[in-house]
Amino acid sequence: MNPAIPNAKISAALFAKAKTLIPGGVNSPVRAFRNVDGDPFFVRRAKGCRIEDVDGKTYIDYIGSWGPNILGHAPTILTHAIHEASKDGLSFGIPNPHEVEMAQLITSWVPSVEKVRMVNSGTEATMSCVRLARGFTKRDKIIKFDGCYHGHVDSLLVAAGSGALTCGEPDSAGVPKSFANETIVLPYNNVERLEETFAAMGEQIAAIIVESYPANAGLVFPQPGYLQLLRDLTAKHGALLIFDEVMTGFRLAKGGVQELESLSPDLTAMGKVIGGGLPVGAFGGRADIMDQLAPDGPVYQAGTLSGNPLAMVVGLTQLRELEKRNGYSQLDTLGKHLEDGLRGLLTEKGIPHRINRVGSMFCLYFIDRDILNVDDVVAQDFNIFKKFFWSCLDQGVYLAPSPYETGFLSLAHTIGDLDDTLTVMSTALDKI
């Protein structure tokens, strides 16, 4: 039992048992609380913006299942949709009308997406984008950026190499060196390295894949003109631009970051919000590129549960509810309230910090310099973060159990919830 979670006897027993049955006791690594030197708690139920653990303690949640629960946990409109859809079946492995509705909604909300294919996870979406880009361009090399995570795809689990033109090194056991040799890893927001790489290898590069706003090393924003440079360089050299909007798509705006930045990538990977909390992903883009997919083209991609009616109905219900409630404006108001309140506390207490926020996504860094890439993220004071995390958790506020993760607000949060959270954070900051 972790001392920061008093009386967590049932969670402790479950975790002990889980470790004998599941690698590390968890089904996704960040859940193990290794970045905060502790053990996780187990959740029994969730409703609105609150989660309840198996020992009966309740927390205000700022994770929302890592982004998809933009209406909050178990909103009645979604649970009703699941119930009604389930009466007609959970999966057919045959086309159903709901996947056509979803495709129509996505293509109408995201102008760069002329055709779209559903998959079951963000990882499937990014993997498919990379394969499709290689098949379309008939080139092999991919550029990604250090600190950007695109799921556990072999060719994208690659760490930075030692120089501008060196390919990356495998970032996980089990990834062949030959895969990493086709991936060039560059520092995000570094114009010189990007231009140098294209000047030397432009004709070999199939695509750039980028988290349009990197949200897996905290939350990092592009410098002015940086995303436009990616668009210009790929167009000039015949490469494709892939926006990974699995986190940002349909959370920040109907058209995601590309709407906010007025840019049109060639391909887009999507997920999270379009599933309403159920497993889902999608990828889409220019029709001439998407038409290279089987059965029309030579690039193979398939999935038994892709476009299953349950996920499609729930996702459509969530997206339409967001639109009906003018959700993005409300979420930005909530985000600004939390950001302004937290910044005021940190300034008043004289604690070095940076807060990066856009709409309902936010990240606090305990550092006194701007965050331009992953090097800045890892330079923050992790010990302060750990103390802050555990103190907030002890008082009933659940933040991401890692300084590398982004926080999420939902329409279920109220100003009162945020004010209660700020009170907790003030106490936690006094203990640092």
Tens digits of residue pLDDT in 201-235: 999 999 999 999 999 989 999 999 999 999 999 99
**Is 254 one of the annotated active-site residues of the chain?**
no
Tell me the angle at which helices 76-86 and 309-324 cross, rounded to the nearest 10 degrees: 150
Q: Is the dihedral of CA 324, 326, 330, 335 positive or negative?
A: positive
Within-domain flag for 1: no
One domain for residues 301 and 330: no
- Is 272 a residue of the active site? yes
Question: Comparing 33-42, 161-170, 249-258, 336-345, which segment has the lowest mean pLDDT?
Answer: 161-170
Q: Is 70 exceeded by the pLDDT of residue 200?
A: yes
Amino acid letter, residue 281: G
Instruction: Concatenate the DSSP letters of all residues of 89-110 into one string.
Output: -S--SS--HHHHHHHHHHHHH-
Task: Please give the pLDDT value at position 6.
Answer: 77
DSSP state of 28: S
Give the residues across from 293 on adjacent strands: 299
Query: Are 267 and 397 part of one and the same domain?
Result: no
Catalytic residue among 59, 149, 365, 404: 149
Does 4 map to a domain?
A: no
Mean pLDDT of 297-322: 97
What is the tens place of the pLDDT at every residue in 169-192?
677 888 888 877 899 999 999 999
| Whether 264 and 363 share a structural domain | no
- The yes-or-no verdict on residue 315 having pLDDT over 90 is yes
Report, as an integer, the average pLDDT of 291-312: 97
Domain finish residue from 269, 304, 324? 324
CA torsion sign, 247 to 361 to 416 to 385? positive
Average pLDDT, the chain: 94
Least Cα distance to 150 among 167, 126, 133, 129 occurs for 126
Residues 396 and 354 in one domain: yes
DSSP codes of every residue in 245-259: -TTTTTTSSTTHHHH
DSSP H or E stretch at residue 25 = none
Same domain flag for 153 and 295: yes
Note the pLDDT tens digit of each residue in 150-160: 998 887 888 75
Given the residues 57, 144, 272, 386, select the one marked as catalytic.
Answer: 272
Give the CA-trace dihedral at 396, 401, 402, 405, to 10 degrees: -80
In a domain, 30, yes or no: yes
Asked if residue 246 lies in contact with residue 270, where contact means CB atoms within 8 angstroms, the answer is yes
The model's pLDDT over 71-103, given as tens digits with 9 standing for 90+, comes to 999 999 999 999 999 999 999 999 999 999 999
Number of neighbouring beta carbons within 10 Å of residue 152:
17
Residues 343 and 401 in one domain: yes
Question: Do 364 and 261 reside in the same domain of the chain?
Answer: no
Q: Is residue 69 part of a domain?
A: yes
pLDDT tens for 232-287 read 999 999 999 999 999 999 999 999 999 999 999 999 999 999 999 999 999 999 99
CA torsion angle 403 407 413 417 (round to 10): 20
Q: How confident is the model at residue 4 (pLDDT cuts 50, 70, 90)?
A: low
* 3-state SS class at 365: strand
**Domain-located, residue 3:** no
Beta bridge partner(s), residue 209: 242
Assess contact for 411 and 330: CB atoms under 8 A. yes
**Could you tell me which residues come within 8 angstroms of residue 135 by beta carbon, excluding any fewer than 6 positions away?**
292, 297, 298, 299
- Residues 255, 172 share a domain: yes
Look up the CATH number of the domain holding residue 270. Answer: 3.40.640.10
| Within-domain flag for 15 | yes
pTM score over 0.85: yes
Q: What is the mean pLDDT of residues 11-27?
A: 96
For residue 398, the model assigns a pLDDT of 98
CA 131 to chain CA centroid, Å, is 21
CA angle 16, 175, 141 (to 5 degrees): 140
Rounded to 5°, the CA angle 28-6-52 comes to 55
- Cα–Cα distances in angstroms (integers) from residue 5 to residues 53, 159, 342, 389, in the given order: 11, 35, 24, 12
Residue 270 lies in a domain: yes
Question: Among residues 296, 324, 352, which one ends one of the domains?
Answer: 324
End-of-domain residue from the set 275, 295, 324: 324
To 5 degrees, how large is the angle CA 427–CA 431–CA 432? 120
Catalytic residue among 39, 244, 266, 381: 244
pLDDT at 167: 57
Domain total of the chain: 2
CA geometry: angle at 131 spanning 125 and 137, to 5°? 130
Q: Where is pLDDT greater, at 162 or 247?
A: 247
Residues 6+ apart with CB under 8 A from 297: 135, 291
Give the chain's length. 432
Q: Which domain holds residue 418?
A: 9-74+326-430
For residues 264 and 370, state if they share a domain. Answer: no
DSSP class per residue in 118-158: EESSHHHHHHHHHHHHHHHHT--EEEEEET----S-GGG-E
* Of 303, 239, 234, 310, the residue nearest 276 (C-alpha): 310
Model confidence at 2, in pLDDT bands (50, 70, 90)? low
Please report, for residues 164, 226, 276, the alpha-carbon distance to residue 200 in angstroms, rounded to integers and kept in the order given: 10, 20, 44
The one-character DSSP state at 303 is -
Q: Are 338 and 426 in contact (CB under 8 A)?
A: no
Assess whether 172 and 95 both reside in one domain. Answer: yes
Q: Based on the fold, state whether residues 138 and 260 are members of the same structural domain.
A: yes
Q: What is the pLDDT of residue 160?
A: 55
Is 99 in the same domain as 212? yes
pLDDT of residue 158: 80
163 pLDDT more than 60:
no
Residue 394 included in any domain: yes
Cα-based angle 67, 73, 78 (whole degrees, multiple of 5) = 100
Q: Is 244 a catalytic residue?
A: yes
The contacts of residue 317 (CB under 8 Å, 6+ apart) are: 77, 78, 81, 276
CATH code, domain with 48: 3.90.1150.10
**DSSP 8-state secondary structure symbol assigned to residue 187:** E
Q: Residue 295: is it exposed, middle or buried by C-beta count within 10 angstroms (0-12/13-18/19+)? A: exposed
